[in-house]
């Protein structure tokens, strides 16, 4: 059976929620019975700096945790660009997420929900690829952020991202 | 009677895998000092002690103290381990030297980071020298290098079991990528267990030296140690040969790079490329490597260091064998990088 | 000679055997010889291996404290004693000693203080007094009052005392109290001002005078923390 695999690289600034995003996606994929690998890279600073997440979801066992040819590369902040510039040429789909900030404004959402908006967008991608179950992603999202403040706003951001055409 | 082991799926980081493996096999005490990228092991273990009162944890004042506290603990009969990296690996050599001399079954996890000095907190394969030869010793340590989380689980357990069985210190090599990688692990419901006993028995009037008056005393002792080490070697040597039948090019890589190289070889199946992956770096799988080396046309060592694996390979290969290398100290190596290297 | 004792490797006139033999007496009187474990620093302390009839083992220079910390935590029944000199305690091993006292580790540390590095030939120690003649010349650095420093970080219930081999009656009491302190679950340290005629280059009663005139005025004997 042919392997169904996706390689996603998320790159942003520490504090933007890159790792939260990666956490929800990876745990949802795991609970969907997929093979998953997640490696995070940070700068030395405890605050700020750059934050990277290499996420792979596959039907087959993953042997190399990092990769240089992402299927999707999401750049979440300009600060992280120098770190991932070497990957851009080899990426199938390079997405500069700056353009999605417009969507936040249109829907009355704050910048702190930006990563959850992106989560919605990436989740749709994964569900369409049949790699993760939508139900499970929603459960994981609730697990991770349900008890935190701004839950209503975050949930809305997720829906907006998920349903974006 | 055959025992059917049940497995359950878990989503764990390398650090969590090590802690779980250690706990499952019967380790009881952790002594260590925080240092990236090994700190998670200490934190994780200390959380485990809250649920399991049999376990002990102490954050020591530095890695030197950790190296000696584990010695004290095993002398008293309680299986102990530490985890460190980079500059900490340097400091813990004092205690490891004593462990080698006195045949103490301690386990130290070395999470390799960029070096020398503070280097990077991220990743490398630059602590192989330290793992084997870091003390004022002859390198009688059992050193494991794992390529997958499953292997990391098994090798961590083997480190404890064999350290206690054969009485040599054991090093579990990992690195900053591996310890942070979260992946799927099938965890067995029943684990193997180490066998321990106190090395110093109260009331037994034993006297254990590590310093001798005469050269001959030391020499005689070392002869015995070497004999024991070689005997252990037969039983514990580990390696993997992948796609080596009919191979013309042989890649040699270990640990994280070993896993990457395996994937590259899988993609290069028609190109007569094989992989030799040492799992015990010490004792080194010399016989198996030499057998293979005779059959291939080209050997290339690939590692994230400036030749620490290469030096081991050369030392273990018959003299006139030519060895090429691809050395990327402190840098991750990708699948396509290896493919490009082989096919150019 | 009692059959319990091996021939001494210590120099004639050394302070070590006085303390060690007294330690053994105390353990005997307390019925604890069978529980005692003596970890040894690498200095002249190392010569105490296989000298007394209870478990001994070498550690490394400056590392006897963390080794006994690990040992005691893993065998609470034992009477864990770390045996070291002024260098092992107050130079290379000071860090571990302070932290172990701070954490109130229930170990006992005996520090043989002769203000000099004997085994390596007579170099200065952290406890060398001003104007002391050592290998390096005339010492100008003030001596470290190690026991007082350890006492300052030790916790309630700990015991820190300094005795002298010129008064073994008092020393014996201190060793006893230190062991009782461990039995009560606390840290203890006994510093023993001791002879080193070899490094001091003294003969006969000169050795006793050297200690009394040079060291006792600097290092006050008595209980520092109890």
- CA B101 from centre of chain: 19
Tell whether the model's pLDDT for residue A44 goes beyond 80: no
Nearest chain C residue to B209 by CA: give it: C58
Paired sense of beta strands C159-164 and C222-225, if any: antiparallel
What's the pLDDT tens digit per position in B47-102?
Answer: 999 999 999 999 999 999 999 999 999 999 999 999 999 999 999 999 999 999 99
* Cα–Cα distance list, A137 to A5, A27, A158, C94, C162 (Å): 18, 8, 10, 54, 67
Distance CA(B11)–CA(A162), nearest Å, equals: 25
Write B284-290 long-range contacts (CB < 8 A, 24+).
Answer: B284/B237, B284/B312, B284/B315, B284/B316, B285/B237, B285/B238, B285/B239, B286/B316, B288/B237, B288/B239, B288/B241, B289/B239, B289/B252, B289/B313, B289/B316, B289/B317, B290/B316, B290/B317, B290/B318
Please provide the average confidence, as pLDDT, over all residues in chain C: 95
* C99 to B61: CB separation less than 8 angstroms, yes or no: yes
Please provide the average confidence, as pLDDT, over all residues in chain A: 92
- Predicted TM-score (pTM) of this structure: 0.93
CB B273 within 8 A of CB B243: yes
At residue B172, the 3 state secondary structure works out as strand
CB A67 within 8 A of CB A6: no
Look-up of token digits 């935590």:
C73
What's the pLDDT tens digit per position in C100-123?
Answer: 999 999 999 999 999 999 999 899
Q: Can you identify the CATH homologous superfamily of domain C16-225?
A: Thiamin diphosphate (ThDP)-binding fold, Pyr/PP domains (3.40.50.970)
What's the pLDDT tens digit per position in A50-91?
Answer: 899 999 999 999 988 899 899 999 999 998 999 899 999 999
Distance CA(A164)–CA(B322), nearest Å, equals: 58
Report pLDDT for C6. Answer: 63
Question: Which domains are delineated in chain B?
Answer: 7-236 (3.40.50.970), 239-343 (3.40.50.920)
What's the pLDDT tens digit per position in B197-255?
Answer: 999 999 999 999 999 999 999 999 999 999 999 999 999 999 999 999 999 999 999 99
Nearest chain B residue to A57 by CA: give it: B183
* Segment (H or E) for C209: helix C205-210
Measured between beta carbons, the chain A residues lying within 8 angstroms of B118 are: none
Count residue pairs from B and C with Cβ separation < 8 A. 133
**C71 in reach of chain B (CB within 8 A):** yes
What's the pLDDT tens digit per position in C174-206?
Answer: 999 999 999 999 999 999 999 999 999 999 999
* B169 min Cα distance to partner chain A (Å): 29
* B200 min Cα distance to partner chain A (Å): 43
Q: Which of A63, A69, A90 sits opposite B262 (nearest CB)?
A: A63
* Cα–Cα distance list, B205 to B208, C53, C56, C72 (Å): 10, 6, 8, 17
């Amino acid at each position: 059976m042919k392997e169904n695999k996706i390689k996603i690289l998320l790159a942003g600034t520490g504090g933007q929620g890159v790792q939260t995003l990666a956490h929800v996606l990876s745990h949802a994929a795991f609970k969907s019975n997929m093979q998953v690998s997640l490696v995070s890279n940070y700068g030395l600073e405890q605050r700020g700096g750059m934050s990277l997440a290499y996420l792979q979801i596959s039907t087959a066992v993953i042997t190399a945790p990092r990769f240089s040819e992402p299927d999707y590369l999401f750049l979440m902040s300009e600060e992280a660009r120098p770190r991932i510039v070497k990957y851009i040429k080899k990426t199938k789909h390079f997405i500069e997420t700056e353009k999605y900030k417009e969507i936040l404004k249109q829907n009355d959402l704050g910048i702190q929900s930006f990563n959850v908006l992106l989560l919605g967008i990436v989740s749709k991608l994964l569900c369409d690829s049949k790699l993760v179950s939508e139900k499970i992603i929603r459960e994981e999202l609730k697990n991770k952020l349900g008890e935190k403040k701004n839950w209503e706003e975050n949930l809305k951001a997720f829906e907006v991202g998920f349903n974006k055409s | 009677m055959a025992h059917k082991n049940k497995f359950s799926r878990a989503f764990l980081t390398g650090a969590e895998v090590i802690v779980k493996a250690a706990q499952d096999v019967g380790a009881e005490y952790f002594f260590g000092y925080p240092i990236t990228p090994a700190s998670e092991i200490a934190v994780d273990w200390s959380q485990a002690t809250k649920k399991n009162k049999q376990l002990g944890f102490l954050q020591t004042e530095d890695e030197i103290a950790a190296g000696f506290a584990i010695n004290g603990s095993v002398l008293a009969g309680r299986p102990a381990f530490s985890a460190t990296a980079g500059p900490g690996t340097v400091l813990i050599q004092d205690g490891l030297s004593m462990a080698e001399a006195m045949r103490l079954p301690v386990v130290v996890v070395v999470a390799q980071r960029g070096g020398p000095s503070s280097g990077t907190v991220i990743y490398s394969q630059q602590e192989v020298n330290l793992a084997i030869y870091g003390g004022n010793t002859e390198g009688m340590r059992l050193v494991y290098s794992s390529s997958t989380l499953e292997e990391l689980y098994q090798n961590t357990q083997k480190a404890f079991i064999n350290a206690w069985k054969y009485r040599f210190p054991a090093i579990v090599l990992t690195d900053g990528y591996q310890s942070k990688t979260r992946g799927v692990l099938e965890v067995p419901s029943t684990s193997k267990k180490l066998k321990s006993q106190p090395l110093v028995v109260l009331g037994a009037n034993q006297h254990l030296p590590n310093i001798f008056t005469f050269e001959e005393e030391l020499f005689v002792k070392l002869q015995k140690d070497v004999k024991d080490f070689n005997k252990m070697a037969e039983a514990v040597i580990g390696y993997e040969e992948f796609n080596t039948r009919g191979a013309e090019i042989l890649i040699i890589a270990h640990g994280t790079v070993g896993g990457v190289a395996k994937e590259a070889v899988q993609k290069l199946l028609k190109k007569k490329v094989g992989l030799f992956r040492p799992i015990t770096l010490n004792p080194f799988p010399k016989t198996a490597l030499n057998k293979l080396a005779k059959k291939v046309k080209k050997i290339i060592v690939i590692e994230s260091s400036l030749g620490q694996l290469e030096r081991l390979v050369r030392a273990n290969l018959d003299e006139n064998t030519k060895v090429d290398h691809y050395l990327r100290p402190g840098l991750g190596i990708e699948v396509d990088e290896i493919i490009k290297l082989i096919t150019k | 000679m009692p059959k319990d004792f091996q021939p001494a490797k210590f120099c004639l006139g050394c302070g070590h055997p006085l303390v060690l033999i007294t330690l053994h007496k105390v353990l005997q009187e307390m019925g604890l010889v069978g529980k005692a474990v003596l970890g040894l620093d690498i200095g002249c302390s190392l010569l105490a291996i296989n000298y007394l009839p209870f478990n001994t083992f070498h550690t490394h220079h400056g590392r006897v404290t963390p080794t006994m910390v690990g040992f005691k935590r893993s065998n609470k029944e034992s009477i864990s004693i770390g045996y070291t000199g002024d260098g092992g305690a107050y130079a290379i091993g000071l860090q571990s000693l302070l932290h172990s006292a701070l954490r109130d580790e229930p170990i006992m540390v005996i520090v043989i203080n002769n203000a000099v590095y004997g085994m390596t030939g007579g170099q200065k120690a952290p406890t060398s007094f001003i104007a002391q003649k050592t290998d390096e010349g005339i010492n100008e650095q003030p001596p470290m009052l190690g026991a007082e420093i350890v006492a300052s970080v030790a916790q309630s219930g700990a015991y820190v005392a300094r005795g002298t081999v010129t008064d073994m009656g008092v020393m014996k009491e201190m060793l006893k109290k230190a062991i009782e302190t461990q039995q009560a679950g606390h840290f203890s340290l006994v510093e023993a001002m001791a002879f080193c005629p070899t490094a001091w280059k003294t003969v006969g009663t000169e050795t006793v005078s050297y200690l009394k005139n040079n060291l006792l005025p600097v290092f006050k004997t008595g209980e520092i923390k109890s």
